[in-house]
């Protein structure tokens, strides 16, 4: 059995074992999960990132309202401030994690401000609507509308999408980003230079419903069982979050390994964690893209579990995960080999 990274093991809160007569385990509500996520995920990461923020004079931040079917969503845009006021930038569209049901644009906000200044690119952070109030496919549709909004608002963003048009996210955000890479490939709206995605940043993704594993992939997709009890995201919580989102198990807009083809989607940088129930989702997605002739880089990190770098952002391997994330983005932008 692989061991946890020693730094991570020393910090992790291991829940006490339930007594034999404890009865069925408590099933958390959405409200409880949102409160837990804010306290144990968002707050530690924002607190760590706050001292690293660039000067406010180095970027402009705006929250924009984008009309979607049945309402509106917010996108937070961060644009570099440079001496040449006419300079244009590539764009990275970020889709936050949280099991399609929790989290917000605040999670990655400070990190994206620093990324904007360090890499000289515009970031767009999408506040898609959450399940269970807004079940599948609302999140897909909201994020697709946000991508179209980017294409239609390049002057506002000081953007030149021929320099780079990336979409990416963590966990549920990675699922949505990979779906968008396929949906935009097939959508005539995104045809032509300056409209096509040029990269996808896929961090610890769920790429197929646990009930929809194809027979040929069952020997490969072992982590959901092997790592089913690994904190902080055991299989039972993954299945609960999926039940809130309510996707049909075989719909490729959730189970994106089931798209008829992966050929022609944007190149991908993929990160996975050895002790994550979703470990093999990351590898299977990278392998499927490579088999379809798509340029892909995949890194798996030993001794760590799902999203640990948000909960414990200061440990060495969390720093390494973020450093290599930035390197992966640079690679997709053609700034690094």
Residue 306 known to be catalytic: yes
pLDDT, tens only, 2-13: 799 999 999 987
Q: Which of 182, 298, 306, 309 is an active site residue?
A: 306
Is 243 noted as a catalytic residue in this protein?
A: no
CA atoms of 283 and 252, how far apart (whole Å): 18
* Bridge pairing between strands 59-68 and 71-80: antiparallel
User: For 297-313, how does the pLDDT look when each residue is reduced to its tens digit (9 = 90+)?
Assistant: 999 999 999 999 999 99
Domains by residue range for the chain, with CATH: 44-332 (3.40.50.1820)
The edge-to-edge listing of strands for the beta sheet with 268-273 is: 59-68, 71-80, 122-127, 91-95, 165-170, 199-203, 268-273, 296-301
Per the CB < 8 A criterion, the answer to whether 326 and 309 are in contact is no
Please tell me whether the peptide bond between 304 and the residue prior to it is cis, using omega within 30 degrees of 0. Answer: no
Question: What is the H or E stretch that residue 60 is in?
Answer: strand 59-68
276 is catalytic: yes
pLDDT average, residue stretch 55-77: 98
Give the relative orientation of helices 316-332 and 109-119 as an angle to the nearest 10 degrees: 50
> Among residues 171, 177, 255, 305, which one is catalytic?
171
- C-alpha 295/C-alpha 201 separation (Å) is 12
Q: What average pLDDT does the segment 219-247 reach?
A: 97
Q: Which of 12-26, 41-55, 111-125 is predicted with the least confidence, judged by mean pLDDT?
A: 12-26
- Where does the pLDDT of residue 329 fall: very low under 50, low under 70, confident under 90, or very high at 90 and above? very high
The string of pLDDT tens digits covering residues 179-198 is 999 999 999 999 988 999 99
Closest Cα partner for 42 from 313, 272, 236? 313
Q: Which of 5, 142, 276, 280 is catalytic?
A: 276
For the chain, how big is the Rg over CA atoms in Å?
Answer: 19
Residue (of 201, 184, 105) closest to 150 by Cα position: 184
Report the predicted TM-score, pTM, of the whole model to 2 decimal places: 0.96
């Amino acid at each position: 059995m692989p061991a946890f990274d020693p730094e991570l093991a020393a910090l992790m809160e291991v829940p006490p074992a339930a007594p034999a007569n404890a009865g069925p385990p408590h099933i958390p509500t959405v409200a409880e999960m949102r409160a837990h996520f804010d306290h144990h995920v968002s707050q530690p990461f924002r607190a760590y990132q706050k001292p690293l923020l660039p000067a406010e004079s180095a970027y402009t931040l705006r929250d924009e309202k984008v009309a979607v079917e049945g309402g509106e969503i917010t996108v937070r845009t961060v644009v570099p401030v440079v001496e040449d006021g006419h300079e244009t930038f590539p764009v990275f569209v970020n889709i936050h994690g949280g099991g399609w049901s929790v989290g917000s644009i605040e999670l990655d906000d400070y990190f994206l401000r620093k990324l904007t200044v360090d890499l000289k690119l515009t970031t767009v952070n999408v506040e898609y609507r959450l399940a269970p109030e807004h079940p599948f496919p609302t999140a897909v549709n909201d994020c697709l509308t946000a991508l179209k909004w980017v294409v239609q608002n390049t002057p506002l963003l000081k953007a030149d999408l021929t320099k780079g048009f990336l979409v990416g996210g963590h966990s549920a955000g990675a699922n949505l980003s990979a779906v968008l890479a396929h949906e935009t490939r097939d959508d005539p709206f995104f045809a032509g230079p300056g409209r096509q995605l040029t990269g996808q940043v896929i961090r610890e993704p769920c790429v197929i419903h646990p009930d929809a594993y194809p027979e040929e992939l069952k020997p490969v997709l072992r982590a959901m069982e092997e790592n089913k009890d690994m904190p902080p995201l055991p299989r039972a919580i993954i299945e609960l979050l999926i039940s809130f989102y309510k996707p049909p198990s075989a719909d490729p807009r959730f189970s994106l390994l089931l798209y008829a083809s992966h050929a022609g989607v944007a190149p991908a940088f993929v990160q996975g964690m050895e002790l994550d129930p979703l470990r093999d989702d990351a590898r299977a997605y990278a392998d499927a893209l490579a088999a379809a002739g798509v340029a892909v880089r995949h890194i798996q990190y030993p001794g760590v579990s799902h999203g640990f770098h948000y909960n414990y952002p200061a440990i060495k391997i969390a720093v390494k995960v973020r450093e290599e994330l930035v390197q992966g983005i640079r690679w997709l932008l053609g700034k690094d080999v």
